[in-house]
Structure 1
Amino acid sequence: MPGLLLIRPVGPEATYALRHQVLWPDEPLDYVKIAEDADGHHFGAFRDEELVAVISLFVTGPEARFRKFATRPDCQRQGIGSQLLRHVFEEARRLGATHIWCDARRDSAAFYERFGMEPEVEIFYKGPVAYVRMACAL
């Protein structure tokens, strides 16, 4: 039986390895770092003290955006990402945001729809990967 899941703030550097492993393993590690990391709120989901998922939240006034959401492959489809995303929605509300969005990989759009997010723009590409902007009110 998997251990208790704990979600807590982490520094941006704690997110890099998982971002790299899950999102862009064929790119250099620096590819997953973003200029705004120093201004973000970064969270990790820990199971038995092991980091298994990460997400980064950026809030500017009423607007919140989450980026670099990654769950270790062997921990996917276990509800960990859902718990982490709910936590980020609450944190965004706490920080005063009323709207949240992300650039979602097209093959993950159905996951975000379960949280009330809807596509806002046409599909676009980052390299070979198809994305769609998903958003909702908080």
Structure 2
Amino acid sequence: MRTKLATLAFGAFLLSSCGGGAEEPEVTVEERLAMPADPENGRRIFRQCAVCHEVTPGARHRVGPNLWGVYGKPAGQYADFSYSSALKRSDVVWDDETLDAYLKAPQSVIPGGRMSYAGNSNPADRRDIIAYLKTLEGEAPE
């Protein structure tokens, strides 16, 4: 019995080493963001963001600003929210690339900003969140 298990284990090892250790090619930010996104999954992931951010048009801000209609707009779009000086000084426009970088590591995009979010290292999650944020525009729902 031990011999059979050892043979199976060795066979699995050989199969796992097939391919010569070829690595997956690097994907650029543009290529990654061009991949299909799932805004519904982004909405589910966004629930953790909803602790600080509202996404209903006209709703009051929470700890963070309301994110309704944020996509494509300059950072700091709401006059009635007290943004950090760092964010006010930034020339950031919330597009695919800036949102991807910000969701990955907010402090690297706006050093000195007040967002106390460590970031999301999963590129697919970030892509889905961005797809969800893109749906938050237009007329206010009834």
* Greater fraction strand: 1
TM-score, scaled relative to structure 2: 0.24
Q: Which has the higher contact order (CA 8 A, sep 6+)?
A: 2
- Larger Rg over CA atoms: 2
